[in-house]
Amino acid sequence: MSFSIQFLGTGTSVGVPQIGCDCATCTSADPRDRRRRTGVYVRAGGTAFLIDTPPELREACLDYKIRKVDAVVLTHAHMDHIAAFDDVRRFNTLNGKKPMNCYAAPETIASMRQIFPYISDKANTQGLFRPMIFFKPVTRAFRLGEVKVTPLPVVHGPRTNGYLLEHAGKRLAYLPDCIEIPPKTLARIKGADVMVVDCLRAREHPTHMNLERSLAALAAAGAKRGYLVHFSHDVKHAEFSKRLPRGVRLSYDGLVVRV
């Protein structure tokens, strides 16, 4: 049974390189220092879905030859996670002009309806110039094809969910944007086979974990393997990765992790 995630992007909200920056990371020749905004593509058995639709979604789908998307799951309505939501209409077409389910917290769906008021679940006669979406508010575990998906509320800013994905006896916890993991969420992800967690940089930040917090969260969850994500340009891959303990790695764009 195959169960994997692919990182479509691993950068923080402004991306890396940042516009107009000449720092060592922004000018690095290491492809791992070139980061789209954060999102993942999940494959589990015959099910495939996106978690978030970051601004460079289209380029990522072209680069990684992604053509099967059954649904979209959203963590929160910050623009670096939803900006390319309109591009989902291409998958409406590939799926035979069928509406697609989009799962998110009720507050996130309310924001999506404000930001994308033209999005409809009705077929339209003028061609697929807008996505056809069924918004599905989620507050507890649900099934998405062959995957059990459990929302994991975290502290970040707006209402934000990470997600626990379970398939064929394996568990993956994905928490890309958070400053704090509440005890109830931590209890749900204990002993996860893989845990992906926010790590903006070494210095503290008001809404994102820094390295110290990320490592403490991975240890508290007892995750078997940890991957850090959502990096700013303070994180130069080759150097920053030397600061990690065994079992913890930096993600990079395009990386596929088998659970």
Q: Which of 56, 70, 80, 253 binds Zn ion (CB under 5 A)?
A: 80
Q: Which long-range contacts (CB under 8 A, 24 or more apart) does 180-186 make?
A: 180/154, 180/155, 181/152, 181/154, 181/155, 181/217, 181/220, 181/221, 182/153, 182/154, 182/155, 184/153, 185/152, 185/153, 185/154, 186/217, 186/220, 186/221
Query: Using CB under 5 A, which of the segments 25-33, 109-117, 144-152, 215-223 binds Zn ion?
Result: 25-33
By C-beta, is 110 or 146 nearer to Zn ion?
A: 110
By C-beta, is 19 or 65 nearer to Zn ion?
A: 19
Cis bond upstream, residue 176 (ω within 30) = no
Q: Which of residues 87-106 bind Zn ion (CB under 5 A)?
A: none
Q: Does 26 bind Zn ion (CB under 5 A)?
A: yes
Tabulate helix, strand, coil % of the chain (nearest 5): 25, 30, 45
Q: Which of 52, 177, 198, 253 binds Zn ion (CB under 5 A)?
A: 177
Q: Does 233 bind Zn ion (CB under 5 A)?
A: yes
Shortest separation between residue 16's beta carbon and Zn ion, angstroms: 7
Q: Which of residues 125-154 bind Zn ion (CB under 5 A)?
A: none
Instruction: Please report, for residues 122, 159, 258, the alpha-carbon distance to residue 5 in angstroms, rounded to integers and kept in the order given.
Output: 31, 24, 7
Q: What is the CA 164 to chain-centroid distance, rounded?
A: 12
Shortest separation between residue 155's beta carbon and Zn ion, angstroms: 11
Residue type, 235: V
Query: 185 with 203: CB under 8 angstroms?
Result: no
Q: Which of 1, 2, 14, 21 binds Zn ion (CB under 5 A)?
A: 21
By C-beta, is 107 or 146 nearer to Zn ion?
A: 107
By C-beta, is 10 or 150 nearer to Zn ion?
A: 10
Distance between CA atoms of residues 63 and 56, nearest Å: 11
Residue with tokens 């996505």: 131
Cβ atoms < 10 Å from Cβ of 118: 8
Shortest separation between residue 93's beta carbon and Zn ion, angstroms: 28
Q: Which of 32, 34, 35, 78 binds Zn ion (CB under 5 A)?
A: 78
Q: Does 23 bind Zn ion (CB under 5 A)?
A: yes
By C-beta, is 82 or 189 nearer to Zn ion?
A: 82
By C-beta, is 89 or 233 nearer to Zn ion?
A: 233
- The runs of H, that is alpha helices, within 35-182 are 57-63, 79-82, 89-94, 106-115
Shortest separation between residue 158's beta carbon and Zn ion, angstroms: 7
Query: Using CB under 5 A, which of the segments 80-88, 98-106, 128-136, 221-229 binds Zn ion?
Result: 80-88
What does the binding site for Zn ion look like in residue numbers (CB under 5 A)?
18, 21, 23, 26, 78, 80, 177, 233
